[in-house]
């Protein structure tokens, strides 16, 4: 047996190179390596670590310290108590690291320590085995129970390199991200990409347009904004002026041509989109205004286009991974997205099966019939689900109250309408056109 | 009275209901009810929509790294009082 090849923690040479930008100051490579090592020494001897840091730099340092100790980062979809309790049951021999003083009964949480930095002899860049499970990323299923997806270090590094190459990312990019680091898109684009492309990450997670502008303004160019269609639309509608950008990256929801065009004009920067999923990570990219077709990352192959069951293969992936979208082949190895599989919905980047949602709705005592459905797409508008319910003895808020306990909030219907009956056909089906017509009547009635 | 909306709170409540296309009347938002989670059940997408609406209506650019944890968005009352202090139109 041969040992698995190792890959460096990050790809940089100069000790003065800024790895991160935090509180208005650069964190140099030398400082970063000392901090990671100092933190690694303080970690207890356990296999799994809940990385609960919200400051992106501290999240990164914790992430790397775990790697140095051969531990695996558990990345919950959110920090809600319910989620953490569920996950702790799945990984009993775990502990947490938090920079926000989080506490949870039964889970040992180490507060992120204040580490002192004084100039010391430079450390060499650690090597991490490529087959080490660096992270387990969780998606929230429609019913809220977290689904684990293991990520090997070698695979994360490869995707980061290939994504940077596909985007022609400038090697000294300063990256500001509006998305959290514990989701796959944020992990790949705001942590792994700067680590392995010689870039710098901003420690914040700005939300409002003014916060985004301020975070970008702190950094010298070339600036890259890692964001979502929603943030872009709000920035455009508010008319905020951003400092010059080299690149805008969008993912988590489809970006319309119109919104991409407006963003390119307003911010004078190319807007690229990433197509991917939590199971496989980034798969393909495109400059949205250049056309519909997606260009797979190198080493990635899309199979089963023009069928109901496309999948992705890659030399960095453990095996073929089924996709939740229907794909059509396009010239030059590219592909187009035709739409989601009929049963799958995506709200704010979270996926759920409509069948599962309908089942939950109909299982509520007092609900006789009910259906969730997706209204017509409105470009750039955060899409919400609508529910029609037959439940004579319940009020709307009683039904919503039960759903709130069971569903991820993103899937709560907005609005939920009570109706006397659903217009089912003789075979029990509910054609979409009939639902849309009924909805129109409810809106105007 | 603590449970009824002031005139400005009524205005902000109407602004929220319109911006989020909520299926409730603006009067039904209790001024001190939490806007998130157990209260009105808003999430971070909604905060962004509200930030855009208040920027247009009151010329206030909201700023916060993690608004879910800040006082401003804890209730209609705290949001309205913040806007009243910072409004430019």
Asked whether the predicted pLDDT for residue A379 surpasses 80, the reply is no
Estimate the crossing angle of helix B44-58 against helix B76-86, to 10 degrees: 30
Residues of A in Cβ contact (< 8 Å) with B66: 54, 205, 207
Which of B21, B55, B67 shows the shortest C-beta gap to A207? B67
d(CA A88, CA A299): 35
Q: In terms of pLDDT, which residue wins out, A426 or A219?
A: A219
The HSE-up count of residue B35 (CA atoms within 13 Å, CB side) is 29
Contact B52 A214 (CB under 8 A): no
Stretch A308-313: mean pLDDT: 89
How many angstroms separate the CA of residue A385 from the nearest CA in chain B?
A: 13
Q: Is A375 on the interface with B (CB under 8 A)?
A: no
Q: In whole angstroms, what is the distance from residue A440 CA to residue A75 CA?
A: 42
Cα A353 to Cα A73, A223, A252, A280, A414, distances in angstroms: 28, 37, 17, 19, 17
Residue A51: both structure tokens together: 């990385």
* A to B CB pairs, distance under 8 Å: 63
- pTM (global) more than 0.90: no
- A203 to chain B, any CB pair closer than 8 A? The answer is no
**How many C-beta atoms surround the C-beta of residue B14 within 10 A?**
16
A185 vs A229: CA distance, rounded Å: 13
Quick one: CA dihedral A258, A264, A267, A268, positive or negative?
negative
Q: Mean per-residue pLDDT for A8-31?
A: 92
Tokens of A68: 């140095």
Cβ neighbours for A425, distance < 8 A, ≥ 6 positions apart: A431, A434
| Structure-block tokens of residue A103 | 């506490």
Per-residue model confidence (pLDDT) at position A44:
97
Encoded tokens for A196: 């392995």
Tell me the nearest-neighbour CA distance from B52 into chain A, angstroms: 6
Query: Does the pLDDT at position A241 exceed 70?
Result: yes
DSSP state of A69: T
pLDDT, residue A94, reads 96
Question: Alpha-carbon distance A237 to A181, whole Å?
Answer: 26
Whole-angstrom distance, CA of residue A44 vs CA of residue A332: 51
Q: Taking residues A405-412, what's their average pLDDT? A: 84
Average pLDDT of the residues in B20-37: 82
B55: closest CA of chain A, how far (Å): 7
Q: Do A207 and B43 touch (CB under 8 A)?
A: no
pLDDT in tens, A330-346: 999 899 988 777 677 77
Closest CA of chain A from B8, distance in Å: 22
- Chain A residues whose CB is inside 8 A of the B37 CB are 409
Nearest chain A Cα distance for residue B53, angstroms = 9
pLDDT digits (tens, 9 = 90+) for A58-79: 999 999 999 999 999 999 888 8
Residue A160 is inside which H or E element, if any? helix A153-167
Name which residue leads in pLDDT, A5 or A81.
A5
| % helix, strand, coil for chain A, step of 5 | 30, 30, 40
Q: How confident is the model at residue A4 (pLDDT cuts 50, 70, 90)?
A: confident
pLDDT above 90 covers a percentage of chain A that reads 61
What mean pLDDT comes out for the span A299-304? 94
Q: What per-residue confidence (pLDDT) applies to A145?
A: 67
Flag whether pLDDT at A120 surpasses 90.
no
Give me A390's structure tokens.
């037959």
Sheet strands (E) in A153-190: 174-177
Q: Is pLDDT of B82 > 80?
A: yes
pLDDT of A247: 98
Positive or negative: CA dihedral B45, B49, B54, B56: positive
* pLDDT single digits (tens) A161-175: 999 999 999 989 999
Give the model's pLDDT for residue A138: 86
pLDDT exceeds cutoff 50 at A366: yes
Q: What value does the CA radius of gyration of chain B take, rounded to a whole number of Å?
A: 12
With CB atoms and an 8 Å threshold, state whether A410 touches B43. Answer: yes
- The whole-chain average pLDDT of chain A stands at 89
A116-130, A162-176, A278-292, A293-307: the lowest-pLDDT one: A116-130
pLDDT for the residue A219:
93
Higher pLDDT, A87 or A73: A73
Per-residue model confidence (pLDDT) at position A427: 67
Asked whether the predicted pLDDT for residue A211 surpasses 50, the reply is yes
Q: Is the pLDDT of residue B1 over 50?
A: no
Inter-chain touch B61–A382, beta carbons under 8 Å: no
Is there a contact between A416 and B23 if contact means CB atoms under 8 Å apart? yes
Contact between A237 and B52 using a beta-carbon 8 Å cutoff: yes
More confident: A194 or A426 = A194
CA A186 – CA B9 distance, rounded (Å): 37
Question: For residue B17, what pLDDT is reported?
Answer: 87
Give the DSSP H/E element, type plus range, for residue A370: strand A369-373
> pLDDT per residue over A415-432, tens digit each?
899 998 888 777 677 777
Q: How many CB atoms lie within 10 A of CB A174?
A: 24
């Amino acid at each position: 047996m041969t040992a698995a090849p190792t890959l460096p923690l990050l790809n940089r040479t100069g000790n003065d190179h800024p790895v991160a930008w935090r509180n208005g100051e650069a964190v140099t490579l030398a400082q970063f390596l000392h901090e990671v090592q100092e933190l690694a020494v303080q970690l207890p001897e356990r296999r799994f670590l809940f990385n609960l840091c919200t400051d992106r730099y501290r999240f990164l340092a914790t992430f790397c310290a775990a790697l140095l100790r051969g531990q695996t980062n558990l990345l919950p979809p959110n920090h809600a108590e319910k989620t953490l309790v569920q996950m702790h049951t799945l990984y009993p021999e775990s502990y947490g690291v938090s920079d926000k003083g989080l506490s949870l009964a039964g889970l040992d949480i180490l507060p992120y320590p204040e580490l002192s930095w004084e100039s010391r002899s430079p450390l060499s860049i650690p090597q991490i085995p490529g087959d080490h499970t660096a992270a387990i990323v969780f998606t929230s299923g429609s019913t809220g129970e977290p689904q684990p997806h293991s990520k090997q270090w070698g695979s994360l590094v490869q995707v980061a390199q290939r994504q940077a190459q596909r985007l022609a990312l400038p090697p000294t990019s300063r990256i500001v991200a509006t998305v959290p680091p514990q989701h796959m898109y944020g992990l790949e684009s705001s942590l792994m990409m700067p680590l392995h492309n010689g870039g710098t990450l901003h420690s914040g997670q700005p939300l409002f347009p003014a916060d985004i502008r301020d975070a970008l303004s702190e950094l010298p160019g070339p600036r890259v904004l890692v964001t979502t269609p929603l943030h872009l639309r709000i920035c455009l509608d508010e008319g905020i002026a951003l400092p010059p950008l080299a690149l805008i990256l969008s993912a988590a929801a489809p970006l319309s041509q119109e919104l991409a065009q407006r963003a390119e004009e307003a911010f004078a920067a190319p807007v690229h989109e990433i197509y991917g999923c939590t199971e496989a990570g980034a798969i393909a990219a495109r400059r949205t205004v250049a056309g519909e077709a997606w260009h797979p990352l190198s080493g990635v192959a899309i199979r089963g286009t023009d069928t109901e069951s496309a999948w992705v293969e890659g030399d960095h992936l453990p095996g073929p991974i089924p996709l939740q979208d229907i794909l059509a082949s396009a010239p030059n190895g590219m592909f187009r997205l035709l739409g989601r599989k009929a049963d799958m919905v995506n709200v704010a980047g979270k996926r759920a099966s409509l069948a599962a949602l309908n089942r939950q709705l109909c299982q509520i005592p007092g609900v006789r019939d009910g259906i969730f459905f997706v209204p017509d797409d409105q470009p750039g508008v955060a899409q919400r689900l609508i529910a029609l319910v037959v439940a004579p003895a319940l009020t709307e808020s009683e039904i919503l109250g039960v759903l709130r306990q069971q569903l991820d909030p993103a899937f709560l219907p907005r609005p939920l309408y009570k109706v006397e009956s659903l217009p089912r056909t003789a075979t029990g089906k509910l054609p979409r056109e009939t639902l849309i017509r009924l909805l129109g009547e409810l809106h105007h009635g | 009275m603590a449970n009824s909306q002031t005139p400005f709170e009524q205005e902000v409540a109407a602004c929220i209901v319109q911006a989020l296309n909520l299926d409730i009347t603006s009067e039904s938002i209790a001024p001190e009810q939490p806007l998130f989670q157990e209260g009105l059940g808003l999430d971070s997408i909604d905060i962004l929509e509200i930030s855009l609406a208040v920027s247009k209506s009151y010329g206030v650019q909201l700023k916060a790294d993690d608004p879910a944890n800040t006082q401003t968005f804890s209730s209609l009352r705290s949001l309205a009082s913040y806007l009243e202090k910072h409004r430019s139109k």
